[in-house]
Amino acid sequence: MSTAVVTIPVDASTVSQGALRPGLSLAGQLGARARLLSVVTRESETAERRALLESLLAARGLNDAEVEVGVHEVATDGLIERIGATSPDHPVVMSTHARGVVGEAVLGSVASELLRQTHRPILLTGPHLDDAWSGPIRSLLVCLDGSALSEAMLPEAVAFARAIGAELRLIQVLKPSFGQGADAGEWVYLRRVADHLPERYGVSANWDVLHGTDVSRAVVEYAALIKGAVIAMTTHGRTGLQRMRLGSFAREVLLAARSPVLVMQPAGD
């Protein structure tokens, strides 16, 4: 993973600025330069927007971050064009619950379109990101369900964790009817995946089998117990970000997560 720039799309809304903490934290871990990116619809708005972004950085004592303000008649299209033109190796961190420029409703149209177009991992923050979350990222929790779709996140998760020196942890949620932990057979899948990681990617990973009737809640509550955790998962291409594999699982995780969520739509899916 190249560590030159971490792009953080920000508009004038407070909610969009929720991506600043994880974005700036990630840039610090990577030794990368942070780039605050915004798009306005009129040239006359650029000075005011630039001043806002610079004030956000100054409040955090950051003088070496980049500020880019573009102009496009449709701000969301302008953001997608600019982010899509950046290197796939340069991380993007953005809010998914802002209304307007960065997103719409809960899951942003910009994030959804970027996932569809670029097939790159994007670090997303939802509406319930913990106010105390400040990084650094220490653990990457990769959600697996036995499918090739979920396992497509593994190489990207390995690269991400390796770049920042984070622990890699594989998790799977099983319904109580499958067993309550007494049956060692329920561990077979995650253990097999973990055992193959050193050979395939040169890394090792811990793993945990979770139980619960509410799969997304089990993931969110587990992540909340781990300091500096980030949840990682894939999204299904046929339905975009709004509906992912396992029904509403990923959407519900993003809605409830107290930590950032790394999301990717695999190519060809």
Rg, the chain, Cα only? 18
Q: What is the dihedral of CA 225, 242, 213, 146, to 10 degrees?
A: -90
Cite the beta strand spans of the chain per DSSP E: 5-9, 33-40, 66-71, 93-95, 122-125, 139-143, 167-174, 206-211, 229-234, 261-264
pLDDT given for residue 119 in this prediction: 82
Q: Tell me: the pLDDT tens digits for 158-203?
A: 999 999 999 999 999 998 764 444 455 678 999 999 999 999 999 9
Burial zone of 42 (CB within 10 Å; 0-12 exposed, 13-18 middle, 19+ buried) = exposed
Q: Are strands 93-95 and 139-143 parallel, antiparallel or unpaired?
A: unpaired
pLDDT given for residue 98 in this prediction: 35
d(CA 56, CA 205): 37
pLDDT given for residue 185 in this prediction: 67
pLDDT given for residue 177 in this prediction: 61
pLDDT given for residue 166 in this prediction: 96
**Entry pTM:** 0.88
pLDDT given for residue 255 in this prediction: 84
Regions of the chain short of the pLDDT cut 70: 1-3, 97-109, 177-185, 236-249, 268-269
Instruction: Cite the DSSP H helix spans in 178-258.
Output: 188-201, 215-224, 249-256
CB 242 within 8 A of CB 255: no
